[in-house]
Copies of this chain bind each other. A is one copy, B any other.
Amino acid sequence: MNPNTRSTPHSTPRSTTRSTTTVPLGDRSYPIHISSGQTDTLGRSIRDAIPGISHAVVVMDESVVDPWGDQLCQSLVNGHSANDQAVRVSRIEIPSGESSKSIEQFDRLMQWMLRENSDRASVLIAVGGGVVGDLAGYAAASFTRGIRFVQVPTTLLAMVDSSVGGKTGINLPGAKNMVGAFWQPSLVLVDTDVLSTLDEKIFLSGLGEVVKYGVIEDAEFFAWLETNADALIARDPDALRHAIETSCQCKANVVGEDERESTGRRAILNYGHTFAHAIEATAGYGTLLHGEAVSIGMQMAARLALSLGMFDEASLVRQTELLRKCQLPIDYADADPAKMLPVMMKDKKVAHGKLKFVLPSRIGCVELVDGIDDDLVVAAIGQSTASR
């Protein structure tokens, strides 16, 4: 919430509803523009940010083509002033769903880009949730060894998490995100209006990651969420922009300090995730949405921290209540520690069989803790069925 990262007001009447956050990565730094009610000028923003753009490769989730993808393509082509160069637009639709993060879709995308005479100067624009962002980002990283790309996230999760930070990739059968690249976008364009068509459960699931930022880094934001959860659930644009901007700033700062997950700093973004991944894997992918699993996982992590004496009961209750307000699940009756532990041991964040957890010491602060007794982990999972 640093006022210095806000951009100067735009010259259109709707300008006051746009703010900008920067991901600080030296010569790879890029802005995240966050607006409401400006979906008809997204293409214009891309042309402004990438002067001289002559070929746009627009990769869209099939569910967002009408109206968001269409609007974007139109504003890429139209409305340019006389001295602008025309932009050639190539467009492709990706089937909705996690199964599109595959080598097959990657191959299809590459061959299509080639047929569309894409070259190193082409700019790829990803319009969709994390699935399309991850797939298209990896395509941008790989086509002629890397072309520029723009993220236009259309789910809350993609706005606050997957579109920021440069992780791109696809899945292998049975293993998520095994193949990919670190490849930063040139620009991220968020407009909260696109959330109007998003399914309720998917929208709420994104709040899991939003709450995460409050716990790991920002007690003030956590308190703001306690007060404004209802406005967020009602998709109030002002509340959404504030939540998205604050979340992006948190992620941007962490990514700026540890772009490639090499110093350990970036690991704090995995709060709740070691448990969540194990829940997702043992429950069968698709049973729970990712943000729902993260919500349950954060509860497990907080209980583990409590049992280690590093976190207090009152803070745990605050986290529980906020997640409840966000209509997120806080326990998972079918959690099976006997199945979850082996999955946690195989997690690719584990080097040579040593488990690490990101655990809260208070609201707004987490630590990386290793060498934890299996029994305590089992207990933290098990208590999931008790309603606290």
A383 to chain B, nearest CB (A): 31
The stretch that binds B, out of A156-164, A170-178, A327-335, is A170-178
Residues 123 to 156 of chain A near chain B (Cβ within 8 Å): 141-146
Query: Is B182 in contact with A114, judged by CB distance below 8 angstroms?
Result: no
Interface of A is mostly: mixed
Most buried by B among A141, A142, A145, A352: A145
Interchain CB contact under 8 A, A178 and B110: yes
Contact with B along A255-285 (1 / 0, CB 8 A): 0000010000000000000000000000000
Chain B contacts for A260, CB-based, 8 A: 145-146
Q: Give the distance to chain B from A142, nearest Cβ to Cβ, in Å.
A: 5
Contact across chains for B144 and A178 when beta carbons are under 8 A apart: yes
CB neighbours of A351 from chain B (8 A): 119-121
B348 near A144: Cβ-Cβ < 8 Å: yes
Given the known inter-chain contacts A103-B103, A167-B145, A172-B111, please indicate yes or no for A348 contacting B119, CB distance below 8 A: yes
Show 21 residue pairs from A and B whose CB-CB distance is below 8 angstroms, ordered by the A residue.
A103-B103, A103-B106, A103-B107, A103-B110, A110-B178, A110-B179, A114-B172, A114-B175, A119-B348, A120-B348, A141-B181, A142-B180, A142-B181, A143-B178, A144-B180, A144-B348, A145-B167, A145-B177, A145-B182, A145-B260, A146-B181
A169 at interface, CB cutoff 8 A: yes
Say yes or no for A90: interface residue by CB 8 A criterion.
no
Known contacts being A121-B351, A175-B114, is A182 close to B143, with CB within 8 Å? no
Chain B residues positioned under 8 Å from A352 (CB to CB): 54, 121
In the complex, the answer to whether B111 meets A173 with C-beta atoms within 8 Å is yes
- Contact (Cβ within 8 A) A145 B180: yes
Chain A residues numbered 308-361 whose CB sits less than 8 Å from any CB in chain B: 348, 351-352
Q: Which residues in B have their C-beta under 8 angstroms from that of A168?
A: 145
Q: How far is the CB of A124 from chain B (nearest CB, A)?
A: 13
Enumerate chain B residues within 8 angstroms of A103, measured Cβ to Cβ: 103, 106-107, 110
Q: 19 more A-B contacts (CB under 8 A) besides A110-B179, A111-B173?
A: A103-B106, A103-B110, A114-B172, A114-B178, A120-B348, A121-B351, A141-B181, A142-B179, A142-B180, A142-B181, A143-B178, A143-B179, A144-B177, A144-B180, A144-B348, A145-B169, A145-B181, A145-B260, A146-B260
